[in-house]
Amino acid sequence: MAFIAGGIALNAFTVDMAGDTRKTISIIALGIGSIISLWAWISWARVERSMRERQPLKHSPALVLLSGTVFAIAIIAAIAFL
């Protein structure tokens, strides 16, 4: 939800950044927030199934996606503020 809220807030408030850059970062944040929300639901269903069947829980690469996205958005925003 933080990505979605951040994307909305970035687009809603005036910041010292080019309009296209602000809109691009906002769209990326909204898109990643949506993907992570869907991914969480799918992961929850997978964990529920594994627990019901007494199977080991599978590792999710969602943390790598989340960390990479936060890093990319931070770099783009830092460059845009210069």
**pLDDT averages per 10-residue partition of the chain, 82 residues:** 83 73 84 87 90 87 80 82 73
Radius of gyration of the chain (CA): 16
pLDDT at 54: 92
pLDDT at 59: 79
User: What pTM was estimated for this model as a whole?
Assistant: 0.65
pLDDT at 37: 87
Instruction: Specify whether the CB–CB gap between 58 and 46 falls below 8 A.
Output: yes
- Output the CA–CA distances (angstroms, integers) from residue 1 to 9, 26, 39, 43, in the order listed: 12, 13, 13, 16
